[in-house]
Amino acid sequence: MDLLKFFKYVDEHQTHYVSLLREAVEIKSVSAWPEARPEIVKMVHWVGDRLKKLGATVEYRDVGEQELPSGQKLALPPVLLGQLGTDPAKRTLCVYGHLDVQPAAREDGWATEPFQLIEKDGQLFGRGATDDKGPVLCWLHAVEALQATGQDIPINIKFVFEGMEESGSEGLDDLLAAEKDKFLAGTDFVCISDNYWLGKKKPCITYGLRGVCYFFIEVQCAKQDLHSGIFGGTVHEAMSDLMYMMNTLVDAEGRILVDGLKEQVAPLTPEERALYKDIDFDPEDYRKDIGTNCCIQKGDKAETLMARWRHPSLSLHGVHGAFSEDGAKTVIPMKVTGKFSIRIVPNMTPESVEKCVVEYLNKQWKKRASPNEMKAFMFHGGRCWVTDLTCPDLCVCRQAFMFHGGRCWVTDPHHPHYQAGARAIKSVFGVEPDLTREGGSIPVTLTFQEVTGKNVMLLPVGACDDGAHSQNEKINMTNYIQGIKMLGSYMNEVSKISE
């Protein structure tokens, strides 16, 4: 591949790439809004049409219906399966991305209209710019640029683009399982660009993800809401009980108080700790970006990174059933539900975490000695994903650590696929990427690993301050354009893998 020719073409067509991202951002493909379902379908077909122009075959797969909390049933948007190239002599890469976005409105605190792409000071603001429309377009732009410069696409590519990732990817797992020996057959590697650099300047490759377990604590004290002036002082109030229960979960330093959880965590080896030494990360810059007075780890780089990546964390998220609007309301709620989650890491599993948490909360409730009714349960069990940095044998790791139902996954990051990604990054940015883990969860990572049995890599395009899911989401112009070059170079490097 003539990379210089490819890079030059990309630089000369920046305006075109921005205009296409502008079109994509204007499509309000918010999966959390039932009324926006036609917009998601429009977005899926918008991408499909562009894949067809590149010569890909495209199928739109029906994945059933979604039942809303109201009981209404709504058709799920189709999943796009695209195939570019079927040359048996070439490597085959499966690329995943999502075309739906989080809700957004100007009144939420956006400085600009969220569904209009605004370019300012080298930044492209708009919902979906970095999560995940911008990175998806980078793949399409890279293919188009190679074709426009008269170069052969060096690999076969299978595209899987969905429209429900921000709402749980309903229907996707079943589809991928059904396509294991059909559309996905022949896949050599899987690449996902749906995460971000650790910092703002240095690229990275991500080799690990925490899983997530989501819990509810329900407390009920009466058959209906009560007037506090009439009934206050005569009932054991549900809210008081719930606050007591929530306060038993974590201490002021963020330590999880639930018995039996820390014993499940894989021990930290000296080799693993050494990996944090050279990672480009400034704890003080991180603190300032958050806008907090002090982080728990007080400026220790390794400890801060491990707290984000390789240690479990417990976060309290909210209370349902209590008065939460502006002003005052003197009501005693009949039932309240506290919500919290635990980010899990190797070697924790959702099953073992659920057992520990429910037993612990039942024990705390017994200490409370309240006559009210309490129920604690896990709502959602996610899966943690991690790559073993010292594993010498990928095949052994797959046999020993592949899991179903939420258990940890381990593989070898020294796999030629990771090395190809690192070479591609260096060819564009001139530096070796950091190997990073992330605290968030991308369940589809494990789905692809389980279904294909192949190496999966997270290759981010955006930077840490892009504000995905937040107000004023953006992608830097440099990340967007250099991301196109990186993915084109990555295709070239994948074509050379000879394992």
Q: Give the H or E element holding residue 313.
A: strand 313-320
Torsion 181-183-187-192 (CA) sign: negative
Contact 189, 96 (CB under 8 A): no
CA distances to 116, 172, 196, 262, 496 from 304, rounded to whole Å, are: 36, 34, 17, 17, 37
| DSSP characters over 80-137 | EEEEE---TTS-EEEEEEE--B----GGGT-SS-TTS-EEETTEEESTTTTTTHHHHH
Cα(245)–Cα(238) distance, rounded to whole angstroms? 11
Number of C-alpha atoms within 13 angstroms, CB side, residue 417?
23
Q: Which residues on neighbouring strands pair with residue 374, listed in sequence order?
A: 219
Interior/surface letters 399-418, b for 16+ CB within 10 angstroms, e for the rest: eebbbeebbbbbbbbebbbb
Q: By C-alpha distance, which of 429, 422, 12, 457 is closest to 200? A: 429
Cα(201)–Cα(463) distance, rounded to whole angstroms? 8
368: exposed, middle or buried (Cβ count in 10 Å: 0-12, 13-18, 19+): middle
Q: Which residues on neighbouring strands pair with residue 59, listed in sequence order?
A: 81
Contact 362, 354 (CB under 8 A): no
Cα(386)–Cα(311) distance, rounded to whole angstroms? 12
Which residues have a Cβ under 8 Å from the Cβ of 412 and sit 6 or more positions away? 387, 388, 391, 392, 393, 394, 397, 455
Per DSSP, 165 falls in state G
Tallying the residues shown for the chain, one arrives at 499
Contact 382, 441 (CB under 8 A): yes
Contact 451, 183 (CB under 8 A): no
Which residue, chain included where needed, has tokens 């330590």? 255
Q: Which two tokens stand for residue 9?
A: 């073409």
Cα(125)–Cα(123) distance, rounded to whole angstroms? 6
Residues with active-site annotation: 100, 165
